[in-house]
Chain A
Amino acid sequence: MAPVADHEPRVVLSARGLGKDFGGFTAVNNVDLDVHHARIHALIGPNGAGKTTVFNLLTKFLQPSRGKITLLGTDITRTRPDKVARMGMVRSFQISAVFPHLTVLENVRVALQRPAELAVQFWRPLSALDRLNGRAEVLIDELGLTSYRDTRAADLSYGRKRVLEIATTLALDPEVLLLDEPMAGMGQEDVQMVAGIIREVARHRAVLMVEHNLNVVADICHQVTVLQRGEILAHGDYATVSTDPRVRTAYMGTEDA
């Protein structure tokens, strides 16, 4: 690995020449991406730019047609998605990814069961899972869901479902978090809260997020990559990217954003 300088944190996830074709249509082409430890990296771009496809490629929910992906120094270009998750990269989904008929506590516990090796015991009672409650409750408290501990996820408000999703993801203590539009459809208050959570989380982890809310991107993201028609249009910090004339035309329109 390259020597790590103080001000340039190590790369935990990188893609080189990433591409994906669906039949004759090239959805993603020649994407190079470096995600750093303890940094929040935003992936932005107009609708249909291929952001979610890039997410699916990086997490191996889709198999890339071209290119190479490296996670924590290991080539994962041909690795199965569940293995990628076990290696320390956990993703969220654009539509909220909770288990609707499980309670908040059970949702978080499902994530804890595998690392605690309490997932295959078909002969033990459910109370065997009680020893995970302590850890689950800490996460639930940290994310302000304490009073919803025994509420079924389906009965939570949209914003709280997204928060629960983050709590579940954090239960795995991943090195790399991929959040697909974590604030889509949220009210302003929830946006502020989730932005705060993400900032906190990223102190010891890498975060790559797809986000449409540019105020949030400007506020919390260290790096911004702009995608357009499946290719990288611009890259840099928010100030650089947002003043790039190509980006302004492509993404924000010609008016001031």
Chain B
Amino acid sequence: MARGSASPAAPAVVAHPRAGTLKLVLLLIAAAALVAAPFFLYPIFLMKLLCFALFAAAFNLLLGYTGLLSFGHATFFGGSAYFTAHAVKVWGWPPEFGILLGVAGAAALGLLMGVIAIRRQGIYFAMITLALSQMFFFFCLQAAFTHGEDGIQSVPRGHLFGVIDLANATNMYFFVLGTFTLGMLAIWRFVNSPFGMILKAIRENEPRAISLGYSVAEYKLGAFVMSAALAGLAGGVKALVFQFATLTDVGWQMSGEVILMTLLGGIGTLVGPVVGSALVVTLQNYLATSQFPVTIITGLVFMACVLLFRRGIVGEFYASRLGRRLGFRSES
């Protein structure tokens, strides 16, 4: 239908008039599933899933919506975990302030890394972020407060707002779910805001954006800091979930893992990173107890993704006839 009236690449599929309602129903089902999940599944696993989903979504804010590939996002995730763990355990801060400190710390690190890297493009940008995050890794290895190889252990979860006991798994789960929801809403707002519109314009045609008077480096830096702060939110919460902050979370493998999750799910979609991280975390969890090496499986999955569905799982669905009929659109 409608052949020839639209761009030759994708024949126009008009969204179904009820697509909006259907999307709302899907969203409500997902929300209901998330609320019911801890009564059927292991809460720690679910919380881990939510933390990584938020981390990947934060990363996607940069890769998918700004077009910048950072290879140093572990710095913000793991760095924030250290800050939060330290504030809560050593200084005795309540959990919400511990996490806020983690977010602020991640944003500050993001500003620092961004200022240095943002004027470079493509692979150079990725390499600079990798180099800087490796510097941070070695700082964490040496610094006294991180306890090197041991990490910060047995971090108390404390009481949220002084009343809700987070040692209780269900309470903790709903706290994590609430943070995840807030984080996702924040990302959704950034993307669909006047600022998000300029980011989109920059991604689509950077010289043109400059010629319209936009200082693109500053906009990219803004997106970088936001992404870092949200990755920090995920990291801080994760430290409380596992009561543990370790070198694993600041290592380059973690930066790679979040790229994998995001690409697997589909960049430039809000749901893609969530699906991607769910897949990777689930795989890791199931394979951790088996004889089979996890990295080989995730590697194979990644290869299959690159070869068979480059847009990622959600990206392919959005691009399919059904997806477009439902009015979904991928941003990149």
Contact = CB atoms under 8 A, between A and B. Distances in A.
Contact of B7 (A83, A85, A114, A154): A154
Contacts of B192: 125-126
Interface string A111-142: 10110001111111110110000000000000
A119 B219 CA distance: 9
B10 to A, nearest CB: 10
Contact of A126 (B194, B201, B204): B194
Given A120-B222, A121-B193, A122-B190, A114 B213 contact: yes
B214 interface: yes
A39 B216 CA distance: 31
B208 interface: yes
Contacts of B211: 59, 61, 81, 85, 90-93, 97
Contacts of B226: 122
B198 A119 contact: yes
Interface in B171-227: 189-190, 192-198, 200-201, 204-205, 207-216, 219, 222, 226
Given A82-B214, A82-B215, A125-B192, A113 B197 contact: yes
A102 B201 CA distance: 8
A119 B214 contact: yes
A208 interface: no
Interface residues of A, number: 40
Contacts of A126: 192-194, 196-197
B6 interface: yes
A43 interface: no
Contact of B213 (A86, A106, A109): A86
Given A85-B212, A110-B212, A172-B213, A124 B207 contact: no
B194 A124 contact: yes
Interface string A201-231: 0000000000000000000000000000000
A81 B213 CA distance: 8
Contact of B195 (A98, A106, A122): A122
A114 B194 contact: no
A100 interface: yes
Contact of A123 (B189, B207, B210): B189
A246 interface: no
Interface in A16-61: 59, 61
A224 B197 CA distance: 39
A121 B205 CA distance: 21
A92 B208 CA distance: 8
A122 B204 CA distance: 19
Contact of B197 (A98, A106, A172): A106
A102 B212 CA distance: 15
A80 B215 CA distance: 9
Contacts of B216: 82
A200 interface: no
A99 B193 contact: no
Contact of A61 (B190, B193, B205, B210): B210
A118 B194 contact: yes
B194 A128 contact: yes
Nearest to B212: A111
11 contacts: A61-B210, A90-B213, A99-B208, A102-B197, A113-B194, A114-B213, A120-B219, A126-B196, A126-B197, A128-B193, A155-B6
The 6 closest A-B pairs by CB, nearest first: A85-B213, A122-B195, A97-B208, A86-B213, A99-B204, A121-B194
Given A122-B189, A128-B193, 17 more contacts: A93-B211, A97-B207, A98-B208, A99-B204, A100-B204, A101-B204, A102-B204, A110-B197, A110-B201, A113-B194, A119-B214, A122-B190, A122-B222, A123-B189, A124-B194, A125-B193, A128-B194
